[in-house]
């Protein structure tokens, strides 16, 4: 007998409705699917991530996150988007909530809800896992070659490997937003040389930082993602890279910035970030954004 599952899709970190953001599939997993079935559904969606939600209550829900190729313990846009979907459903019959806790395999993440002026659900903001600095990569010539840019396009500051998980982001600071128009990454070379790089390249520019914005592109061939339009899990790590390289001034032990990502893909995304420091150590970070509900329906498995 076919199993019937309710699903929703959303564009996460989108301020342009259906035209922006990072796509997400959210499955209400009342059937308690096997890992194999969840992986098959994630492959069917073929988004950068899909989530499966169980044990939904007024205060929390259990969430598992899948790439098209494997399960992962943590990611940003799936958590923000799943919370947005759950709160949208909740508000159909209940008063708005201030927050929800999403229980992952190894940790729990709190998501806070903000209302717009008209009372509708607005920005959803997650508490980040504090990232770890895994080291640096210092072969600028090679990373420039593999990204299809000039060595002179990269700033002369350290390229840090930072992540809240075991798979680091390699933060590559470029001198101008114009560089993003010329990037032609060699995905196979990035994948073949991953053991040397030890991270997936998150390319960013401070061109426009006077507006509080950082422009970025992220390539994740190790995760089966050609390019990601919005990478929530990278934001605290990005902020730490900015801090370590003195690229952004701390105001009262905190920094705030907006990451613009996905524009070159035609999926413009904005991620709102706040990082808090004590004696030069990152102690808290949040990432938020707006989402757009695209579809809902039934899936048979």
Average pLDDT, the chain: 94
pLDDT of residue 248: 87
Paired with 22 in beta bridges are 12
Homologous superfamily of domain range 132-287: Diaminopimelate Epimerase; Chain A, domain 1 (3.10.310.10)
Percent of the chain scoring above 90 in pLDDT: 88
What SS3 string covers 196-258? HHCCEEEEEECCCHHHCEEEEEEEEHHHCEEEECCCHHHHHHHHHHHHHCCCCCCCCCEEEEE
Per-residue pLDDT at 1 exceeds 60: no
What's the token pair of residue 121?
């659900």
Percent of the chain scoring above 70 in pLDDT: 98
Contact 162, 241 (CB under 8 A): yes
Distance CA(143)–CA(137), nearest Å, equals 9
**CATH for the stretch 4-128+290-300:** 3.10.310.10
Query: Mean pLDDT throughout 214-241?
Result: 94
Each residue's pLDDT tens digit, 164-195: 988 899 999 999 999 999 999 999 999 999 99
Domain boundaries, the chain: 4-128+290-300, 132-287
Distance CA(122)–CA(84), nearest Å, equals 9
Q: Which of 192, 211, 212 is nearest to 273 (CA)?
A: 212
Identify the burial level of 235 via C-beta atoms within 10 angstroms of its C-beta, where 0-12 means exposed, 13-18 middle and 19 or more buried.
Answer: buried
Per-residue pLDDT at 210 exceeds 70: no
What's the token pair of residue 87?
């709160």
pLDDT of residue 177: 93
Identical fold, 4-128+290-300 and 132-287: yes
pTM for the complete prediction? Answer: 0.95
Query: Mean pLDDT throughout 117-139?
Result: 96
Phi and psi based region of residue 35 (left: phi greater than 0; alpha: psi -120 to 50; beta: remaining): alpha
CA quadruple 196, 198, 203, 206: dihedral positive or negative? negative
pLDDT of residue 209: 58
What's the token pair of residue 1?
């007998």
Per-residue pLDDT at 243 exceeds 80: yes
Pairing mode, if any, of strands 169-174 and 200-205?
parallel
Per-residue pLDDT at 224 exceeds 90: no
Distance CA(204)–CA(214), nearest Å, equals 7
Half-sphere exposure of 130 (CA within 13 A, CB side): 6
């Amino acid at each position: 007998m076919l199993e019937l599952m309710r699903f929703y899709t959303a564009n996460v970190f989108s301020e342009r409705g259906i035209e922006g953001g990072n796509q997400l599939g959210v499955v209400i997993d009342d059937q308690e699917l096997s890992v194999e079935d969840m992986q098959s559904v994630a492959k069917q969606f073929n988004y950068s991530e899909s989530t499966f939600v169980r044990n939904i209550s007024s205060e929390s829900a259990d969430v598992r996150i899948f790439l098209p190729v494997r399960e992962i313990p943590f990611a940003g846009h799936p958590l923000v988007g799943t919370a947005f979907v759950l709160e949208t459903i909740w508000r159909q019959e209940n008063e708005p909530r201030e927050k929800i806790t999403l229980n992952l395999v190894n940790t729990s993440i709190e998501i806070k809800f903000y209302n717009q002026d008209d009372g509708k659900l607005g920005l959803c903001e997650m508490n980040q896992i504090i990232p770890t600095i895994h080291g640096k990569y210092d072969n600028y010539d090679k990373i420039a070659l593999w990204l299809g840019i000039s060595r002179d396009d990269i700033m002369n500051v350290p390229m840090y490997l930072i992540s809240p998980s075991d798979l680091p982001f390699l933060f590559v600071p470029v001198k101008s937003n114009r560089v993003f128009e010329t990037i032609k990454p060699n995905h196979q070379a990035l994948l073949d040389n991953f053991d040397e790089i030890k991270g997936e390249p998150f390319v960013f520019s401070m061109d426009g930082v006077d507006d509080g914005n950082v422009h970025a592109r992220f390539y994740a061939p190790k995760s089966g993602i050609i390019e990601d339009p919005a990478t929530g899990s990278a934001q605290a790590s990005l902020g730490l890279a900015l801090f370590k390289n003195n690229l952004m001034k701390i105001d009262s032990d905190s920094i705030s910035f907006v990451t613009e990502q996905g524009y070159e893909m035609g999926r413009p995304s904005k991620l709102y970030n706040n990082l808090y420091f004590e004696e030069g150590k990152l102690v808290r970070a949040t990432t938020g954004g707006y989402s757009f509900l695209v579809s809902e329906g039934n899936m048979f498995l």
